[in-house]
Amino acid sequence: MRRIAQILVTLILLSVNVAMAKQEGSDPRPLWRSAEGAAVLPSLAVSSLPIGGLARSIFVGWIVLYGAFQKKLLPKAMSRRAAKLFFWPMLPVTYLHRRNALWTRVDDSVLVGVAPVAFSVTPANLKRMGVKGVVNLCDEFMGPTRSYAQLQMQELRLPVVDHFEPSVADLQKAVDFIERVTKDGSAVYVHCKAGHGRSAAVVFAWLTIKHPEKTPKEIQALLSSKRKVRKKTPHAEKYTPFS
């Protein structure tokens, strides 16, 4: 399946018409749950629209690429390009999905949430909440660096490709940064795009330092009680150096 996805996406990126056909040996799960389904179902609807072949192929190609990206079927280099391509077009969807929890206060020192570009998570609003430092885990988004500079806020950018985990070295840098910035009682905002994957890994590492008496399972439960995050991220064994 991974090889098929890579071939399809390569064709898309080269702007070649994508010919949709029945695939033998397809995923036995319901069509809409598979990466192939993400391409086939929209293509069936689009095929009846009065649009040209190129426009139709671009639309179908977009769906194929996004489906493969979300299903983690792409190699890292291709995922990196896809994450940058989809960041701004899909950010409103992320904000809508997280509308009741754009950010979450984990403790007195750390907040975690979505990419800070609008509503309650603009740099100015973060500053009003006592945030003086930001940990940015997005490879696909540099962050509002000019606003940070104007507000005298520090940003630590640790670019991690979406759907991949931060390295132990990156987690150590993030924890060190949080400890340094929060010494005077200030807070740090940790974010990726949606605030539930890459940023959750950093918060997990931070909570491990703050609560050395807790097991990784207990740390995960504590974090999940604060915010809806990926249950399989992070893998506990990666963070034993912080215990």
Domains of the chain in sequence order: 2-74 (no CATH), 103-242 (3.90.190.10)
Residue among 137, 161, 192, 205 flagged as catalytic: 192
Task: Say if residue 50's pLDDT is above 60.
Answer: no
pLDDT at 199: 96
Task: Say if residue 38's pLDDT is above 80.
Answer: no
Task: Tell me the CA distances in angstroms from 231 to 75, 134, 139, 214, 219, one per residue in order.
Answer: 22, 24, 22, 17, 11
pLDDT per residue as tens digits for the range 107-147: 999 999 999 999 999 999 999 999 999 999 999 999 999 99
pLDDT per residue as tens digits for the range 149-159: 999 999 999 99
Task: Say if residue 19's pLDDT is above 50.
Answer: no
104-133: buried (b, 16+ CB within 10 Å) or exposed (e) per residue? bebeebbbbbbbbeeeebebeebbeeebbb
- Average pLDDT over the chain, rounded to whole? 81
pLDDT at 21: 32
Residue 192 falls in the annotated catalytic set: yes
* pTM for the structure as a whole: 0.76
